[in-house]
């Protein structure tokens, strides 16, 4: 079958393309931002990528057009697809019908931690010899790819609540039909498509309705919004995980700098190990992943041991360089809760060292001002903040920054931000770049500047 994917260079759709190739289909696609690394990965798989959204690309008459959620009515290729009555599906629907059917689907959902938890679970299953498939919204370092078809029954999917396509405004995850579901947490996000938290809860409720009675739900027991969600209806056994002894599954750190952890299961079996990640949020992610892996048949000891061999995820507190004992990190944090948790984790992992944060608020939710009241507080734990201010932020955003006082420098130019950082950092500092985009290459530029000026 010839599959043509619209918006192929996004992380999710690029993953769908990789899975379609592995399944034996001929895959082509298009996008308006065709550049490495995704373009390179796809071309290495033999995928022909067309740049742009013109109608002519459909003249080759693919058997199925798979439509990414970046596409909208009015795009020439979308209008041509509809006018020619071509068969089409959304990415999640295609994934469900051609990859997930017949597999044991492990869906990892929640506002925060999906990518890390999914990566941890995929690695634990792989370390146990189960050869799982996966589709993750990031690149686990242990695999080097974001998607793999797999050889065994398990398939781990990052279950995103963003909408499916221009013709299907349900959350993507309702298509996946998981047998095992992880509910990490639930907060208001995606203000560009959801009016309020209740609207998001309703989508999660639809997800819960798809989990069979002989499946299993693993829920963060400390999250009040998740508890309210389950009160809307649940037909599947639930096990709760968290960091205190009241939960079925408990994780604890046994040292102050969060390098050694212990996990306890509902039968009071315990296992401990050292690992690389750190942070209370990552410990929650680890407990959830271990619980789900045990559901798949992995022993608690084997699952926890695998954590010691987990190398992290690209762009999730990824240490990208160290210059003159100045450590530089790349992190995807863009929601106040994630920002605060990351800073707190860095503070505990590196006591006595300065935490310098460079942040780029660029999500639609942030630009709509939804997080203005929490944003300054989320950054308060940093020693200094270097903020890139997009031109389309409102005046209320500037007022929201005032509580940070002289702890923050605001820039409207990436190069000026880098210059400010280069002169402000000192030996021993930890510099964390936080953005869900490319940050104008500022992290790479700072690394080059420090290598030129400090490596002597």
The answer to whether residue 247 sits within a structural domain is: yes
What would the pLDDT profile of 47-105 be if each residue is shown by its tens digit? 999 999 999 999 999 999 999 999 999 999 999 999 999 999 999 999 999 999 999 99
The answer to whether residue 313 sits within a structural domain is: no
**What six digits make up the tokens of 99?**
């990859």
d(CA 24, CA 19): 9
The answer to whether residue 432 sits within a structural domain is: yes
What would the pLDDT profile of 195-252 be if each residue is shown by its tens digit? 899 999 999 999 999 999 999 999 999 999 999 999 999 999 999 999 999 999 999 9
Query: Which range in 26-35, 273-282, 290-299 is most confidently predicted, on average pLDDT?
Result: 290-299
pLDDT of residue 250: 98
Q: Are residues 60 and 140 in the same domain?
A: no
The answer to whether residue 116 sits within a structural domain is: yes
**Phi and psi of 447, rounded to 5°?**
-60, -45
Q: Are residues 44 and 170 in the same domain?
A: no
CA-closest candidate to residue 120, choices 349, 339, 282:
282
User: Of 307, 326, 341, at which residue does a domain stop?
Assistant: 307
Residue 371 pLDDT > 80, yes or no?
A: no
Residue 377 exposed, middle or buried by CB count within 10 Å (0-12, 13-18, 19+): middle
What would the pLDDT profile of 304-362 be if each residue is shown by its tens digit? 999 999 998 888 888 999 998 999 999 987 788 889 989 998 999 899 999 999 999 87
Can you give the chain as a three-state secondary structure string? CEEEEECCCCHHHHHHHHHHHHCCCEEEEEECCCCCCHHHHHHHCCCEEEECCCHHHHHHCCCEEEECCCCCCCCHHHHHHHHCCCCEEEHHHHHHHHHHCCCEEEEEECCCCHHHHHHHHHHHHHHCCCCCEEECCCCECCCCCCEECCCCCEEEEECCCCEEECCEEEEHHHHCCCCEEEECCCCCCCCCCCCCHHHHHHHHHHHHHCCCCCCEEEEECCCHHHHHHHCCCCCCCEEEEECCCCCCEEEEECCCCCCEEEEECCCCCEEEEECCCCCHHHHHHHHHHHHHHHHCCCCHHHHHHHHCCCCCECCECEEEEEECCEEEEEECCCCHHHHHHHHHHHHHHCCCCCEEEEECCCCHHHHCCCCHHHHHHHHCCCCEEEEECCCCCCHHHHHHCHHHHHHEEEECCHHHHHHHHHHHCCCCCEEEEECCCCHHHHHHHHHHHHHHHCCC
User: Of 68, 91, 114, at which residue does a domain stop?
Assistant: 91
CA-closest candidate to residue 146, choices 305, 55, 15:
15
Q: What angle do CA 375, 381, 386 make, to 5 degrees?
A: 65
- Range 394-417 burial, b when 16+ CB lie within 10 A, else e: eeebeebbeebeeebbebeebeeb
Q: Are residues 289 and 390 in the same domain?
A: no
Count of positions (residues) in the chain: 456
User: Of 280, 307, 334, at which residue does a domain stop?
Assistant: 307
Q: Are residues 76 and 111 in the same domain?
A: no
Beta bridge partners of 359: 387, 434
Q: Are residues 106 and 131 in the same domain?
A: yes
Residue 37 CB partners (closer than 8 Å, separation 6+):
none
pLDDT of residue 420: 95
Q: Per the confidence metrics, is the pTM higher than 0.85?
A: yes
Angle between helices 414-424 and 442-453 (to 10 degrees): 40
Beta bridge partners of 316: 313
Q: How many CA atoms lie within 13 A of 307 on its CB side?
A: 32
C-alpha dihedral over 19, 23, 24, 29, to 10 degrees?
A: -30
What Å distances lie between residue 68 and 62, 78, 253, CA to CA? Answer: 16, 11, 41
pLDDT of residue 335: 81
Beta bridge partners of 156: 106, 134
Give me the number of domains the chain comprises: 3
What would the pLDDT profile of 148-160 be if each residue is shown by its tens digit? 999 989 999 999 9
What would the pLDDT profile of 1-22 be if each residue is shown by its tens digit? 999 999 999 889 999 999 999 9
Q: Are residues 257 and 345 in the same domain?
A: no
CATH of residue 214's domain is 3.40.1190.10
CATH of residue 14's domain is 3.40.50.720
Q: Are residues 260 and 115 in the same domain?
A: yes
Q: Are residues 122 and 77 in the same domain?
A: no
Rg (Cα) of the chain, in Å, rounded?
22
Q: Are residues 133 and 188 in the same domain?
A: yes
The answer to whether residue 214 sits within a structural domain is: yes
The answer to whether residue 312 sits within a structural domain is: no
Residue 111 pLDDT > 70, yes or no?
A: yes
Q: Are residues 162 and 301 in the same domain?
A: yes
The answer to whether residue 97 sits within a structural domain is: no
Confidence label for 192 from pLDDT (cuts 50, 70 and 90): confident
Q: Which residue has the tokens 């690029």?
A: 14
The answer to whether residue 96 sits within a structural domain is: no
Domain of residue 52: give its range. 2-91
CATH of residue 348's domain is 3.90.190.20
Q: Are residues 118 and 180 in the same domain?
A: yes
Q: Are residues 119 and 188 in the same domain?
A: yes
What would the pLDDT profile of 251-292 be if each residue is shown by its tens digit? 999 999 999 999 999 999 999 999 999 889 999 999 999 999
């Amino acid at each position: 079958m010839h599959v043509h994917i619209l918006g192929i260079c996004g992380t999710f759709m690029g993953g769908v393309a990789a899975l379609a190739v592995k399944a034996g289909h001929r895959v082509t696609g298009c996008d308006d931002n065709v550049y490495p690394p995704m373009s390179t990965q796809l071309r290495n798989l033999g995928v022909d990528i067309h740049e742009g959204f013109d109608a002519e690309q459909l003249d080759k008459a693919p058997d199925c057009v798979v439509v990414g959620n970046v596409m909208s009515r009015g795009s020439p290729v979308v209008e041509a697809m509809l006018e020619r009555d071509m068969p089409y599906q959304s990415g999640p629907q295609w994934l469900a019908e051609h990859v997930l059917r017949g597999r044991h689907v492990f869906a990892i959902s929640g506002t925060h931690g999906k990518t890390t938890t999914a990566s941890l679970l995929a690695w634990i299953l792989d370390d146990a010899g189960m050869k799982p498939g996966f589709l993750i919204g990031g690149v686990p370092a242990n695999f080097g790819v974001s998607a793999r078809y797999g050889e065994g029954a398990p398939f781990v999917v990052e279950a995103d609540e963003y909408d499916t396509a221009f013709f299907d405004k349900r959350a993507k995850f309702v298509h996946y039909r998981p047998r095992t579901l992880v509910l990490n947490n639930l907060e208001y996000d995606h203000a560009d498509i959801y009016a309020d938290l209740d609207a998001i809860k309703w989508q999660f409720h639809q997800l819960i309705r798809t989990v069979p009675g002989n499946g299993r739900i693993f829920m963060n027991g400390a999250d009040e919004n998740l508890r309210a969600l389950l009160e809307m209806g649940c037909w599947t056994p639930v096990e709760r995980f968290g960091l205190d002894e009241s939960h079925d599954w408990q994780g604890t750190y046994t040292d102050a700098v969060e390098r050694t952890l212990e996990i306890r299961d509902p039968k009071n079996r315990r296992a401990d190990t050292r690992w690389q990640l750190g942070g209370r949020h990552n410990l929650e992610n680890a407990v959830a992943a271990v619980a789900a892996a045990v559901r798949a048949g992995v022993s608690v000891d084997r699952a926890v041991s695998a954590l010691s061999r987990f190398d992290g995820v690209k762009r999730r507190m990824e240490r990208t360089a160290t210059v003159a004992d100045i450590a530089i990190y790349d992190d995807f944090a863009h929601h106040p809760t994630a920002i605060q948790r990351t800073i707190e984790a860095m503070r505990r992992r590196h006591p006595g060292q300065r935490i310098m944060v460079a942040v780029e608020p660029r999500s639609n939710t942030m630009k709509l001002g939804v997080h203005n009241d929490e944003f300054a507080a989320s950054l308060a734990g940093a020693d200094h903040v270097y903020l890139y201010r997009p031109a389309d932020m409102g005046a209320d955003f500037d007022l929201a920054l005032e509580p940070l006082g002289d702890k923050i420098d605001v820039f409207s130019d990436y190069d000026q931000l880098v210059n400010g950082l280069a002169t402000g950092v000192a030996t021993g500092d930890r510099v964390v770049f936080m953005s869900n985009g490319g940050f104008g290459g500022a992290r790479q530029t700072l690394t080059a500047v420090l290598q030129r000026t400090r490596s002597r």
